[in-house]
Amino acid sequence: MTTEVGITVATSTDAATEPATFSLGPLGLGVTGTPSYEAWAAYGGVLWTLGQATQWAVGDWIEFDERAYGEKYAQAEALSKRSPDALMTLAWVARRFPVSRRREILSWSHHAEVAGLPPAEADALLDRAEAEGLTRAEVRILRRQSRTGVALPLPLDVCLGVATVAQVRAALAAADPDAVVRVRGCRCPSVWLIT
């Protein structure tokens, strides 16, 4: 089954532009005509909102299915072609975070990291993530800390100039021979993630 959503955006009557159609389907976006910059930007805003909302929306959709029809993922699996485990996760996170507790500035993945915590503890970690601009990985470390009670260091991005992994490990070992260090390169060859 192929589902396409088409939105027609009327652009200005200026001779350089013509009405445009944006067609969104499972393989991407098609644009016919020449949209104005304003129409293009408006549709981009819709796409960004859809991108941010998709996991929440699918989780809410499955939750509705369960409440209204008593189904347990079979229809959702057939329609979405996603595994039951993936659907269960989406529904579980949506159930754990009603809309009133969701943070717009944080990703669905931030919420998923803390979904297993008691609500007050999850909210405190999300508040901290929002205030400090923490990544999902940093929230995961803080969640593990709260569960184990053991203080874990947050990853540290360090710019050392162009260096090899071996050079970075040697410098860290010389600074603290007892430290347990994982070093890996990132996309920028001069930045290393040190944990």
User: What pLDDT, on the 0 to 100 scale, is given for residue 11?
Assistant: 44
Bridge partners, 7 (sequence order): 22
Predicted model pTM: 0.66
Structure tokens at 14: 């200026």
The pLDDT, as a whole number, for residue 165 is 64
Q: CB–CB of 182/173 below 8 Å?
A: no
- What is the block-wise mean pLDDT of the chain (195 residues), using blocks of 10 residues? 44 54 83 86 87 92 88 80 90 96 95 96 96 92 81 55 63 63 50 46
pLDDT of the residue at 123 = 97
Distance of CA 99 to the CA centre of its chain: 16
DSSP state of 71: -
Q: Which two tokens stand for residue 192?
A: 């290393």
Burial class (CB in 10 A: 0-12, 13-18, 19+), 42: middle
pLDDT given for residue 2 in this prediction: 46
> How many whole angstroms separate alpha carbon 15 and alpha carbon 18?
7
